[in-house]
Every structure is written in structure tokens, then in C-alpha cells.
Amino acid sequence: MDLHGWVDVYLDYLRIERALARNTVEAYARDLAKLLEQAEAEGITSPDGIDVPFVSMYLVGLGERGLGARSAVRHLSAVRGFCRFLVRERVMVADPCALMERPRARRKLPVWLDEDEVDRLLDAPDELTVRGLRDRAMLRLMYAAGLRVSELVGLRLGAVDFRGGVVRVTGKGGKSRLVPVGEVAVDAVQRYLERGRPQHATERETVLFVSPRGGAMTRQGFWKLVVRYATDVGISKQISPHKLRHSFATHLLRRGADLRAVQVMLGHADIGTTEIYTHVTDDHVRRVHGATHPRSR
């Protein structure tokens, strides 16, 4: 089997055995496609040619093309995972990435909305319209539970337990979690189910939030409506659905929430991913101290 064939086998392994999300597998496919391009340019057609000098040259070439440290880390991760798979399958004798250091990538602090901006955004949809009922329910549920946009648009009927005040979410890798939801979001979803969804949903559609055509909402469609509402209420920050997830985590930690609890609610496998929000809140504390303490200057 040639190198292209082994990449296809590896992507099937990620998709089927590892049960990674479609977007994650597609990201691996894009990164490994660049590896295949470089291999073809060097006349390499089999895994044997993926050795230490080749991988080093490949990463250096990406840097010369202006690839940032964060992207370099992602590319190296894709190549490293592929090589480990080939070693496991006994196609390679040794992993050429084993001794390579990860490029140091400076972590960007997430951008979030303050509580006033969140309030304005969540109140923006007009509940007198069917679309407004849906949009208000979606925005409030996303902020209440800190959902990813893919998790929000993928929710099924019955995902929200109105009596228990929780939502069952299917996250990355098909992992399920329960997240508490406040009364405000629960009420908005109930109103949408009673007065909004029946106007558009087809009989067989099981997705909770539907488009005017009766099918499931797309991530792109929700992105556009978030940007539109943010513009309508005068929010000047660069906005995206993920900013609501950032805001959810930041606001919880600022009000004293336990980091482990926030990790569980966000569905992070590694608490290190959640810890970036502690840097955000620490930065806020320093600014408050600098602006208000009489001996801060």
C-alpha cells in the first residue's frame, strides 16, 4: 500500500475506532494532505520515506511559508499521530517524530462578552415571531450551558429535561454529558417548542432547533444570526457563537465556580484546556486592583 492509502486507512481509524468528530477528522485530513504534497514533491510514495530528515524539512518548510507556532503544533500533532499509527501497524520500525520538540505556541486568551453585552444579545430576538422564538431559545440555551455550536445545532428533542433543569449534550468523540440549565433558558426552550417549532418542523425531524425549511439548523446559519443580533444591539467586538461559550466559562469562574466543575460542564477532556480561563480571570483581577487600590501605583 502506498502513502496515500495509509493516510486513508489512518483517517478511517480516527473516524471509526477513535470515534473522533467529523470536523476533527477533516482537520487531520487537511494537515496530512500537505504532508502528501511535500512527499510527492520529494518523490516519496511509501511510508519508508517518512524519516527524521523528511519530517524536519517538512516542518521547516511550513515555517518558511509563514505558518505560525500554533499551526505548526497542530501539523506536528497530525504527523506524529500518523507515524505512531504506522509504527503500531508495523509499517514503520521507528517513529521519526519521537524526539522532536513541540514548537512553543503562545496561548491566546479567549475573547468574551461582559455580562451587559450578553444580556443585550440574549434579549435581541423578537419573541413575537417564530424565528425570534427559536433564536432566543438557542442563544439562551447556548450561554446557559456553555455549548459548542455543533452541540447546540445537534440537540435532539428530549435533550432538555425541563423538570430536572439539565440538558444532555453529545460532545467531541460522541461523549455525553449532563449540564445544568437555569429557568430562564428552560422557559425560552419551552415557549419555542409550544409556539415556534410546530410552525416549521417536518413530522419526522427529531432535531430540536429547525430552520424555516423544516430541517436542522446549520452551524453557519447560527453563526450568521449571532453576528446579526450582535450588530443590532451595538456590540463592537468581533463576535462568534464560541464567544458565548467563552463568556459562560469566564463568568462562572469570576463568580467563584470550581474549575473542575467548569471543566465537566464544558466537556473538556483535559483540565489544562479549561485553565486558560483562570488566566482570563486573573488578568481581570489585576486590572481591578491596578485601577482601585490606593497603593497600586
Of the listed 15, 34, 131, 172, which one is catalytic? 172
Q: Which residues contact 143 (CB under 8 A, 6 or more apart)?
A: 118, 122, 185, 244, 247, 248
Mean of pLDDT values over 25-41: 90
The Cα–Cα gap between 165 and 186 comes to 7
Whether the CA torsion 196, 201, 207, 213 is positive or negative: it is: negative
Of the listed 136, 148, 243, 251, which one is catalytic? 148
3-class DSSP state for residue 274? helix
Of the listed 28, 143, 192, 277, which one is catalytic? 277
Does pLDDT of 76 surpass 80?
Answer: yes
Q: How confident is the model at residue 293 (pLDDT cuts 50, 70, 90)?
A: very low
Answer yes or no: 277 catalytic: yes
* Greater model confidence, 284 or 63: 63
Residues 235, 118 contacting (CB under 8 angstroms): no
For the stretch 255-282, pLDDT in tens is 888 888 999 999 888 887 787 777 666 6
Answer yes or no: 191 catalytic: no
Answer yes or no: 148 catalytic: yes
* Domains of the chain and CATH, by start: 3-88 (1.10.150.130), 115-290 (1.10.443.10)
Answer yes or no: 172 catalytic: yes
The Cα–Cα gap between 129 and 237 comes to 27
Q: Helices (H), strands (E): how many in the chain?
A: 14, 3
The Cα–Cα gap between 240 and 238 comes to 7
Of the listed 74, 197, 245, 246, which one is catalytic? 245
Answer yes or no: 242 catalytic: yes
Answer yes or no: 195 catalytic: no
